[in-house]
Amino acid sequence: MLIGMSYDLRDDYLREGYSELETAELDQAETIDVLEATLAGLGHQVVRIGNLRSLANALLNGERWDLVFNICEGMHGLAREAQVPALLDAWQIPYTFSDALVCALTLHKGMTKRVVMSHGVPSPAFVELNCEADIEAVNLPFPVFAKPIAEGTGKGITAASRITCRSQLRRVCRSLLRSHNQPVLVEAFLPGREFTTGVLGTGAQARTVATMEVVLGAQADAEVYTYHNKENWRQLVSYRLLDDPDLAARIEQVVLDAWRCLGCRDGGRIDIRLDAQGQPHFLEVNPLAGLHHTHSDLPILAGLAGMTYPQLVEAIVTSAAYRVKSVTPRLRRIA
């Protein structure tokens, strides 16, 4: 196929003046290089498109592709991950990963939890804070956990996110509301082990790749998979495949139930945490999981399960290819 690659290159935004933290979710040049080489190695003709603005210009200039391999995270708005999918939908060009509806829904952690909980998927009790006045109405028992409602890569999550009293709740939530300019999700804190499960496929064809436990080291922020822990994972975190078949089955059933009820496609990850009784609960879903070949959780857990990076990428493309009407490469530029 003729595959276009849409992505947000971190270096581009840093040159525009955005900070390291603001661009934490965006892709390194190495990720794009390796992904392009992998797609070419699988026999595809690959064209780099770039970010939303580059995609819009390319479409207006008449460029077309059989499939777009989309990993754009976006920069602005609560529906930023949906912007590229929506644009491609308007031009009727198929693309990898979830559609605009799912990407808009799943970036908003509160909306996501409402959907999965309405389908019977267990998830911690929660409230949303839209302003400082809402803090006083929080009636969940302590400890609770607070995070921005529409961020990824652990942005906004620190050791202080685990909250044990009302004064700390006020302090942390006020800071989050001001610094991230979006609502805050406050949910019951689950004291058990934390896992992330990789998923490939769509609907009834969806399957789990493996479930990987996140094990915090002695020097890591305790009990919380913080932004600091994620950024310094080589020194602070270890990952291991879950080797308890019964627990893995229970976790992966929760994962597949959530994946299917949300309508996620092709590939991604779902984070799970155990409660005090050892029961798995849905935390959040990443339908645009990072694809750095050595640093990102999905390739890491796939590798631990014996799947190579090319096999992972091929599985994603194969799932998306069912939406491609023709596999005959079109001219890159149309009249």
For the chain, what is the domain count? 3
Chain-centroid distance, C-alpha 311: 20
Single residue among 97, 116, 137 that ends a domain in this structure: 97
282 and 201, same structural domain? yes
Q: What is the pLDDT of residues 301-326, one digit of tens each?
A: 999 999 999 999 999 999 999 999 75
Instruction: Say whether pLDDT at 170 is over 80.
Output: yes
120 lies in some domain: no
Asked whether residue 109 is domain-assigned, the answer is no
The answer to whether residues 60 and 147 belong to one domain is no
Q: Compute the distance between CA of residue 294 and CA of residue 233 in angstroms, rounded to an integer.
A: 12
Indicate the average pLDDT of the chain: 94
User: Do the domain assignments include residue 233?
Assistant: yes
pLDDT at 139: 96
Q: What Cα–Cα distance (Å) separates residue 225 from each residue in 55, 217, 233, 306?
A: 34, 11, 10, 25
Return the CATH number at 54.
3.40.50.20
pLDDT digits (tens, 9 = 90+) for 244-260: 999 999 999 999 999 99
Buried/exposed code over 208-236 (b: 16+ C-beta within 10 A; e: otherwise):
bbbbbbbebeeebbeebbbbbbbeebeeb
Residues 224 and 177 occupy one common structural domain:
no
Residue 278 buriedness (CB in 10 A; 0-12 / 13-18 / 19+): exposed
Which of 188, 216, 237 is at the close of a domain? Answer: 188
pLDDT tens digits, 221-252: 988 898 888 888 889 999 999 999 999 999 99
CA dist 201 and 94 (Å) reads 15
Place 334 in a pLDDT band, splitting at 50, 70 and 90: very low
Burial 285-320 (b: 16+ CB within 10 A, else e): bbbbbbbbbeebbbbbbbbbeebebeebbbbbbebb
Residue 172's nearest CA partner among 188, 191, 157, 190 is 157
- For 250, the domain range is 194-287
pTM, entire model: 0.93
Question: Residue 227: its pLDDT value, please?
Answer: 84
The CATH number given to whatever domain includes residue 277 is: 3.30.470.20
